[in-house]
Amino acid sequence: MNLSDPKSNLRNFLHKSYKEKTHKIVRIEIFRNRNNFVRTMEKFLVTGTTGRVGSVVFKMLKKYAPKDSEIIAGDIDESKVKEMHGKNALFRELNYDKPDTLKSSLEGITKIFLMRPPQIEKIKEYMAPFIKLAAKMGVKHVVFLSIIDANPMVPHFHVEKYIKKYGIPYTFLRCSFFMQNLDMVHGEVIKKELDIYVPAGKGKTSFIDARDIGEIAAICLTNSEKYIGTQPPLTGSEALDYEEVATKMTDILGLPIKYSNPQPKDFVNKMVKEYGFPEDYAKVMKMIYFIVRKGLAKKIFPDAENILGRKPRLIDEYIKDYSSKWR
């Protein structure tokens, strides 16, 4: 205290007293607010839970989400969900062909992992109503499984467009080609004909494992403040052409796998006529492989590694883990 300046001392005393009273009031209010505050329980709706990515998201949310969260499968077939995830798995019917299931599937939901069912190409007719309802019902974060360099030629672009239009906070996972396409989509052809029958030319692809994508989705959903408004390009750490993939499969499986590199129209005809693919689905795949042919799928980005905190899986590991799919 400065005894030579009584006016200053008085001002300092009054200022100090005011600050102490103010801090007491603030501390009391903080204490009251802390006692009155109740954290909202998260309710996650996971679509595609019987698929390669959605199934991993469903499992990984149990690791990353708060313990009191509800993790709900939004799917068509309850029996398949419970067969894959256990009899206690939470389920809500979500069927884009049955509009009455859209609202009921969204009741109380706070966050969504959204994927486009492969057979759905007409986004405005089937998925836009669901997205609009999700916005209206207060969903605060949607993580959408998109594709790298999404453009107006592919349905994923239009899903993104509606999510933005209706104002739902989003993360778009811009994924490169899934390794699992080789067993889920093309597995029957490879097993029967020992041929990777895709119209990809000599283009290279930075394949990524669906298991890594599922984990990334769970991380993004449980760290919304960090990932809302982002659209990370997700790739593996190497780019291979399908001739190289065929060589790796041959070496690891001990089977003479080839890559015949068909013309796009021949690919569509074969998939529809010989393997029963819906024509719209085959045409979507043709457009996606057009991206590969043009050399636009070979870029490698660090985002997957940065989000996971580790290197993404290599295709050699995938082929070994899924070897029974082609035998």
Short-list 23, 125, 44, CA closest to 89: 44
Instruction: Give the pLDDT score at 1.
Output: 38
Angle CA 140–44–311, to nearest 5 = 95
User: Rounded to two decimals, what is the model's pTM?
Assistant: 0.84
Question: How far, rounded to the nearest angstrom, does the alpha carbon of residue 59 sit from its chain's CA centroid?
Answer: 13
Bridge partners for 143 per DSSP: 113, 171
pLDDT of residue 6: 43
Q: How confident is the model at residue 230 (pLDDT cuts 50, 70, 90)?
A: very high
Determine contact, residues 73/89, Cβ cutoff 8 Å. yes
Tokens of 235: 């790739």
Domain coordinates in residue numbering, the chain: 43-178+207-236+298-312
Residues 92-125 have pLDDT tens digits of: 999 999 999 999 999 999 999 999 998 898 999 9
Q: Among residues 218, 232, 210, which one has the least CA distance to residue 111?
A: 218
3-state DSSP assignment of residue 172: strand
Domain at 43-178+207-236+298-312: CATH code: 3.40.50.720
pLDDT band for position 39 (cuts 50, 70, 90) = low
Cα-to-chain-centroid distance, residue 30: 38
Whole-angstrom distance, CA of residue 86 vs CA of residue 214: 19
pLDDT at residue 75 in the model: 97
- pLDDT tens-place string over residues 165-196: 999 999 999 999 999 999 999 999 999 999 99
